[in-house]
């Protein structure tokens, strides 16, 4: 078990990839209460900074949950609320997601929210994960992930749920759904999101091995759309967003919904069952043991 978990924290070559061990137009005002009336509006919750330029319609959401932007209950709640506010804000037409933390886009779901907690906590946590994905995957506005660091598991899910993915071309970074490396299983809607992004066969290999891809391999399989030098990631995301903004909102939105709604509806039809599954799975002694070992290995890597 320890060997398996250790593999989950290091990067091990696997073929060409690697296993990770370890419609509104521009408005001039914003409806966000914390925004000022100038063209550039900022709001900062404790874990996510939002900067909306109402002259361009582009908002940047920066994850700032040190050290690794793990998605705990508070982060997930702020993320969903932040997205909701921007979706209701007529001066916003597109959102860029990126990280304020060096080298990490997001370390995925916070393992501490899945370890040693009560069933009530697991239930609340999982509902928040579902809320976040439902909001992002079904988002009416344009979303671009500017992936400026490693992005395992839940971080990869957020990237895949965006409309376009630009990753920093740093060979040290990794992206993928590595859940099996932790001894846990990505739920069907993580799987659906990946199938919709890279296709069925690639997902079969990715999910079963818990593969983590270098930026160049992620580009090859279509997990990301573009690689850029790290220092250009935000400017490229902004330029790319400008091209997306040339498309009439209503036509783009309907096209997006046509492609994504069936996937969203699958979870909406079975949310409670999915929560029940998660709670009973995560509370199992064997799963808790796996997560405990993985956490220990994560910490040992430092010394």
Write out the DSSP string of 124-170: HHHHHHHHHHHHHHT-SSEEEEEE-SBEETHHHHHHHHSSEEEEE--
Question: What residues line the site for ligand LGGBLMCM (CB under 6 A)?
Answer: 9, 22, 67-68, 70, 103-104, 107-112, 150, 152-154, 178-179, 182, 184-187, 278, 281-282, 298-299, 301-302
Q: Among residues 37 and 171, whose Cβ is nearest to ligand LGGBLMCM?
A: 171
- The rounded distance, in Å, linking the Cα atoms of 160 and 163 is 8
> In the chain, helix, strand, coil percent, each to 5?
50, 20, 30
3-state secondary structure of 60: strand
Write out the DSSP string of 280-295: HHHTSHHHHHHHHHHH
Instruction: Clarify whether 74 is annotated catalytic.
Output: no
Beta strands 48-53 and 94-99 are: unpaired
Q: Which residue is nearest to ligand LGGBLMCM (CB)?
A: 108
- The rounded distance, in Å, linking the Cα atoms of 281 and 293 is 17
Catalytic residue of the set 178, 183, 210, 291: 178
Catalytic residue of the set 8, 108, 138, 154: 154
Q: Among residues 24 and 185, whose Cβ is nearest to ligand LGGBLMCM?
A: 185
Catalytic residue of the set 109, 207, 211, 293: 109
Instruction: Clarify whether 178 is annotated catalytic.
Output: yes
To ligand LGGBLMCM, the closest distance from the beta carbon of 300 in angstroms equals: 9
- The rounded distance, in Å, linking the Cα atoms of 168 and 44 is 24
Count of beta carbons in the 10 Å neighbourhood of residue 28: 11
Instruction: Clarify whether 154 is annotated catalytic.
Output: yes
Instruction: Clarify whether 199 is annotated catalytic.
Output: no
In the block, tokens 């939002």 appear at: 50
To ligand LGGBLMCM, the closest distance from the beta carbon of 64 in angstroms equals: 14
Alpha-carbon radius of gyration of the chain: 19
Q: Among residues 41 and 178, whose Cβ is nearest to ligand LGGBLMCM?
A: 178
To ligand LGGBLMCM, the closest distance from the beta carbon of 295 in angstroms equals: 6
Q: Among residues 163 and 179, whose Cβ is nearest to ligand LGGBLMCM?
A: 179
To ligand LGGBLMCM, the closest distance from the beta carbon of 69 in angstroms equals: 8
Catalytic residue of the set 83, 179, 183, 207: 179
Q: Among residues 178 and 263, whose Cβ is nearest to ligand LGGBLMCM?
A: 178
Element (H, E) at 200: helix 200-209
To ligand LGGBLMCM, the closest distance from the beta carbon of 94 in angstroms equals: 25
Residues assigned a catalytic role = 109, 154, 178-179
């Amino acid at each position: 078990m320890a060997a398996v978990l250790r593999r989950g924290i290091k990067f091990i070559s696997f073929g060409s990839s690697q296993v990770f061990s370890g419609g509104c137009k521009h408005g001039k005002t914003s409806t966000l209460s914390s925004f000022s009336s100038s063209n550039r509006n900022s709001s900062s919750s404790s874990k996510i900074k939002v900067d909306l330029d109402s002259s361009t319609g582009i908002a940047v959401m920066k994850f700032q949950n040190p050290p690794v932007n793990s998605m705990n209950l508070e982060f997930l709640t702020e993320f969903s609320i932040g997205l909701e506010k921007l979706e209701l804000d007529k001066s916003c037409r597109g959102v860029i997601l990126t990280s304020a933390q060096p080298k990490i886009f997001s370390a995925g779901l916070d393992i501490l929210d899945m370890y040693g907690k009560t069933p009530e906590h697991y239930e609340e946590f999982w509902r928040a994960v579902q809320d976040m994905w439902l909001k992002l995957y079904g988002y009416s506005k344009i979303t671009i992930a500017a992936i400026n660091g490693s992005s395992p598991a839940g971080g990869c899910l957020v990237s895949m749920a965006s409309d376009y993915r630009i990753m920093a071309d740093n060979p040290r970074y990794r992206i993928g759904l590595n859940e099996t490396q932790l001894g846990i299983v990505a739920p069907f809607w993580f799987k659906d999101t990946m199938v919709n992004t890279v296709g069925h066969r690639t997902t079969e290999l990715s999910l079963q091995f818990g593969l983590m891809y270098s930026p160049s391999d992620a580009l090859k399989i279509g997990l990301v759309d573009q690689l850029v030098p790290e220092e250009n990631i935000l400017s490229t995301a902004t330029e790319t967003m400008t091209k997306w903004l040339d498309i009439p909102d209503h036509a783009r939105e309907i096209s997006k919904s046509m492609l994504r709604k069936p996937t969203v509806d699958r979870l909406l039809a079975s949310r409670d069952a999915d929560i029940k599954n998660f709670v009973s799975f995560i509370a199992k002694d064997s799963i808790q043991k796996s997560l405990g070992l993985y956490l220990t290995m994560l910490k040992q890597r430092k010394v």
